[in-house]
Amino acid sequence: MRTAEPARRAFSRALVRAPVLVYRCGLGWVFGRRLVLLTHIGRRSGRPRHVALEVVGRGEARDSYVVASGYGARAQWFRNVLAHPEVSYQVGRRRRDGWAYALPSAESGRRLAEYATRHPRAAAALMRMLDHDVDGSPGAYERLGADAEHGVPLVLLSPTPLPRPAPATPRPPQEEPPP
């Protein structure tokens, strides 16, 4: 029914925005370590933006978290952190300044499958809400996480910058030995 669609969209938007309001009221601790409030910079406006995201895993560094872009690469927050990776984030009462890094597709797939194994109900509910058709198997979640175009990319929030690979320097030409 067409008239129900705008109401459902409005309800979904309110549901997604509710945790931001909870964090703003100073009650982020009620979410424990399941949600993170990400503050990022709008790529066009340059203004701070806020979004609450589900934590799907932990990074290797202390206070680093992995979050999912359920709406894929088209999500505004995802596009914003690609343009401006310097962010701040809050988990519970703890706030950190840091950087956001999109994980490679293969790692996104692996981590999403791990999350679905640890939290099968939450993963299934999240996928239904986002209109992703997943059969519940780890392989299905892995394919969804690894699909760069239509899948669920993951982002690492880290309090420390990741080392960048050194730029390749051309090797000096080798002299040929005399005959």
5-14 pLDDT per residue, tens: 666 667 666 6
32 is written with which tokens?
């424990």
Give the per-residue pLDDT at 169.
Answer: 46
CB 48 within 8 A of CB 87: no
CB 130 within 8 A of CB 172: no
SS3 53: strand
Give the per-residue pLDDT at 8.
Answer: 65
Give the C-alpha separation, 74 to 47, whole Å: 19
pLDDT, averaged across the chain: 83
pLDDT digits (tens, 9 = 90+) for 93-125: 899 999 999 999 889 889 989 988 998 888 888
Which residues of the chain are under the pLDDT cut of 70?
1-9, 11-16, 163-179
Give the per-residue pLDDT at 171.
Answer: 47
Give the per-residue pLDDT at 88.
Answer: 96
Give the per-residue pLDDT at 83.
Answer: 95
12 is written with which tokens?
């979904």
Domains of the chain: 12-158 (2.30.110.10)
Using a 10 angstrom Cβ sphere, with 0-12 exposed, 13-18 middle and 19 or more buried, the burial of residue 58 is middle
Give the per-residue pLDDT at 131.
Answer: 76
DSSP string, 79-147: HHHHH--EEEEEETTEEEEEEEEEPPHHHHHHHHHHHHHH-HHHHHHHHHHTT----S-HHHHHHHHH-
| CA distances from residue 84 to 39, 45, 67, 71 in whole angstroms, order as listed | 11, 12, 17, 19
